[in-house]
Each structure stands twice: as structure tokens, then as C-alpha cells.
């Protein structure tokens, strides 16, 4: 029986009882004051019964109010006791308990997802660190390690030749000097990767200027930097352009034996045109750019994420890394 039905039944019962008793007393010609007293007694009894009845519902509603407060404080495991009366209050309590269970399950799932995301982020960070270490190890093995081994062999040959034929010492020493310079260039490129400069809130133009100034001062290159951009470059394009600039300059330091570095950025109506050029030996004397092209592959991936294209253009002398990135059309 619902709360409304129970209340209506009690009201009807008391009303009919009072009406019947009043009619009986009237037919029996009982004095009017006795009839009034009896009606008052019935009214008081009805009020007492209604109050007791309402108190039970009030306590149950107070339980729901308390549960709502506790739920708001994070006590998701709190449940309301039900009494099997199948009335509105019981249905409200059952609905609240079901909501609490659903919220508790969702919070548990969110916590599990957060933990999984934290684990995956850690795995990704470790994988990226391992990949970078492997790349550096491969670069060191393929370049500096082999060159140092060759230096050791040439030094031993120079010692042997110094005993028998002094004319061959000059050639050996020239080879030693050449390999030493090559190893030095390789180390400069690797150190550039180990000490990267981030945008850190700067625009691409500002960060590129700082980076290229450091390259010019540390490595003795003549650097020319020109930029013709009117509107602000989207941050995602700025980030990728800066990484491409770092990789291209690193390749120049490792392979090109260059004295001049020219960096240009031009804003066209439909695209950004970016290029890094040097006056070094080009692709013919640096085939490693085409075979071991970890750096080239990374630059292509960065450009590909933005829907652009990257080309290696042979110059005489030198090499140009040319990048075209489409501009996003704005409404």
C-alpha cells in the first residue's frame, strides 16, 4: 500500500466513523455538547494516529537525507535500510541504493583506468628512453667507435712506419687528423641531441634564433636565419618545425663539413615553406643520411603528422632539407 493510499484510507475511516457516530447520537437525541465532545475526541485520536504515522515516514526520509549527505562526502559504500513495504519511500531508497552502487562501480573503474594510464605512461616513457639510448648507442657505434678504432690502427701503423720508412708517417698522420675531425663532428651532433633546447613558451622564431646563435658560437658555423611570417604560427606546427630544425642542424654538424648554414621560413597563402641548407659535402659524401636515416625518418614522421612533405635537395655544394606544411583554413 502506498503512502497516499494509506493516508486516504485513514482519513476516510476517521471521517466515516465520526459521521456515523454523530448521526447515531443525533438519532438518539443525545445532547449537543456530548456530540461535540465525542467529535473532539475523535479528532484528537485522528491527529495522534496521523502524527505517529507521519513520524515513521519522517524517520525514513531522514535516513535518505543522511545518505544523500554521506554520498556527497564520498561515502559511496553507504546504503539505506529498506523495510519491504513497497511504498514510495522504499522505492526511493532502493533507487538511491542502486545509484550508490553504480557510482561506486564507476569510481572504481575510473581509478582502474587512471592506474592503467599511469602504467602505460610509464611504459611509454621507458620505451622512449630506451629507444633514444639505442639510437645514441647505434650512432656512437657506427660513427665515433669505428673512427676511434681506425685512429688506433693508424697510430699503430705510424709507430711501425717510423721505424722503417719515415715518408709514410705523413700519410698516416694526415689520416689520423682527418678521422679525429670526423669523430669530433659526430660528437658535436650527438651532443646537440643530448642538450636540446625547448620552446619553453617562446615562439618558433625566438627559440630558433637562440638555438642557431648557440650553434654559431659553439661550432663556428656562419648562420643566416630569415623568417617572413605575418600571422601567429599554430603551436603544434611551431613545435614540429623546431624539432625538424634541431635534427637538420644535427645532421649538418655530423655529416656535412659545412661552413655556412641558411635557415628560412616563409609563410605562403596555403602553406608554410621551411628549409635548412648548408654548403657542405652533400649526399654524395654523406650516404649515411639515406641508409641509416633515423633522423630523416623522424623528420618525415613529424612532417607527415601535419599533412606536409619533406624533400632532400642536393645542392652543389651542399644539401637542402625542404619542408612544406599546409596551413589550416580558418572560418
304 is a domain residue: yes
| Residue 173 CB contacts under 8 Å (≥ 6 apart), including other chains | 158
106 is a domain residue: no
More confident residue, 284 or 217: 217
Q: Which of 104-108, 167-171, 286-290 has the lowest mean pLDDT?
A: 286-290
212 in Cβ contact with 223 (< 8 Å): yes
Give me the DSSP letters along 15-47: HHHHHHHHHHHHHTT--HHHHHHHHHHHHHHHH
209 is a domain residue: yes
Query: How far apart, in whole angstroms, are the C-alpha atoms of residue 217 and residue 201?
Result: 23
Query: How far apart, in whole angstroms, are the C-alpha atoms of residue 90 and residue 83?
Result: 7
Final residue of a domain: which of 75, 104, 131? 75
pLDDT surpassing 60 at residue 265: yes
More confident residue, 263 or 43: 263
C-alpha cell belonging to residue 223: 648562420
Domain range for 225: 199-326
Q: Using 50, 70 and 90 to split pLDDT, how confident is the model at 266?
A: very high
Which SS3 state, helix, strand or coil, does residue 321 take? strand
Domain tally, the chain: 2
More confident residue, 24 or 70: 70
User: What pTM, to 2 d.p., does this model score?
Assistant: 0.49
149 is a domain residue: no
299 is a domain residue: yes
pLDDT surpassing 50 at residue 331: no
Report the percent of the chain where pLDDT is more than 90: 15
Nearest of 172, 138, 129, 136 to residue 153 by alpha carbon = 172
162 is a domain residue: no
More confident residue, 199 or 255: 255
Would the CA dihedral through 160, 164, 166, 170 be positive or negative? negative
Final residue of a domain: which of 55, 75, 95? 75
pLDDT surpassing 70 at residue 327: yes
Q: Using 50, 70 and 90 to split pLDDT, how confident is the model at 24?
A: low
45 is a domain residue: yes
Query: How far apart, in whole angstroms, are the C-alpha atoms of residue 41 and residue 31?
Result: 16
- pLDDT tens track for 269-308: 889 999 999 988 876 655 555 544 677 888 898 898 888 9
Averaged pLDDT, 170-195: 66
**What is the domain-level CATH number for residue 216?**
3.30.565.10
Average pLDDT, the chain: 75
112 is a domain residue: no
Instruction: Give me the helices (H) in the chain, please.
Output: 3-27, 32-72, 88-139, 146-164, 167-194, 204-219, 235-251, 288-291, 294-305
Final residue of a domain: which of 51, 75, 99? 75
**pLDDT for 1:** 46
Q: Using 50, 70 and 90 to split pLDDT, how confident is the model at 188?
A: low
Residue identified by cell 493516508 is: 7
Amino acid at each position: 500500500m502506498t503512502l497516499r493510499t494509506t493516508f486516504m484510507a485513514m482519513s476516510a475511516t476517521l471521517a466515516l466513523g465520526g459521521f456515523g457516530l454523530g448521526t447515531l447520537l443525533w438519532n438518539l437525541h443525545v445532547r449537543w455538547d456530548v456530540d461535540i465532545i465525542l467529535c473532539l475526541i475523535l479528532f484528537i485520536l485522528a491527529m495522534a494516529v496521523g502524527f505517529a504515522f507521519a513520524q515513521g515516514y519522517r524517520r525514513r526520509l531522514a535516513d535518505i537525507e543522511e545518505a544523500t549527505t554521506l554520498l556527497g562526502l564520498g561515502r559511496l559504500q553507504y546504503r539505506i535500510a529498506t523495510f519491504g513495504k513497497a511504498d514510495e519511500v522504499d522505492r526511493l531508497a532502493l533507487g538511491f541504493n542502486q545509484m550508490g552502487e553504480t557510482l561506486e562501480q564507476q569510481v572504481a573503474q575510473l581509478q582502474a583506468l587512471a592506474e592503467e594510464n599511469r602504467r602505460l605512461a610509464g611504459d611509454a616513457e621507458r620505451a622512449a628512453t630506451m629507444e633514444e639510448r639505442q639510437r645514441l648507442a647505434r650512432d656512437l657505434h657506427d660513427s665515433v667507435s669505428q673512427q676511434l678504432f681506425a685512429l688506433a690502427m693508424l697510430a699503430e701503423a705510424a709507430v711501425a712506419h717510423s721505424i722503417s720508412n719515415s715518408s709514410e708517417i705523413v700519410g698516416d698522420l694526415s689520416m689520423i687528423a682527418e678521422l679525429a675531425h670526423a669523430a669530433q663532428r659526430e660528437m658535436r651532433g650527438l651532443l646537440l641531441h643530448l642538450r636540446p633546447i625547448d620552446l619553453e613558451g617562446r615562439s618558433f622564431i625566438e627559440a630558433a634564433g637562440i638555438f642557431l646563435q648557440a650553434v654559431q658560437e659553439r661550432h663556428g658555423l656562419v648562420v643566416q636565419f630569415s623568417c617572413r611570417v605575418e600571422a601567429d604560427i599554430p603551436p603544434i606546427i611551431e613545435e614540429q618545425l623546431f624539432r625538424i630544425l634541431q635534427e637538420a642542424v644535427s645532421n649538418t654538424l655530423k655529416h656535412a663539413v659545412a661552413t655556412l648554414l641558411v635557415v628560412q621560413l616563409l609563410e605562403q597563402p596555403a602553406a608554410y615553406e621551411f628549409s635548412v641548407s648548408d654548403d657542405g659535402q652533400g649526399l654524395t659524401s654523406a650516404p649515411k643520411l639515406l641508409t641509416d636515416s633515423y633522423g630523416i625518418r623522424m623528420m618525415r614522421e613529424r612532417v607527415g603528422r601535419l599533412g606536409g612533405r619533406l624533400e632532400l635537395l642536393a645542392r652543389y655544394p651542399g644539401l637542402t632539407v625542404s619542408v612544406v606544411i599546409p596551413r589550416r583554413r580558418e572560418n
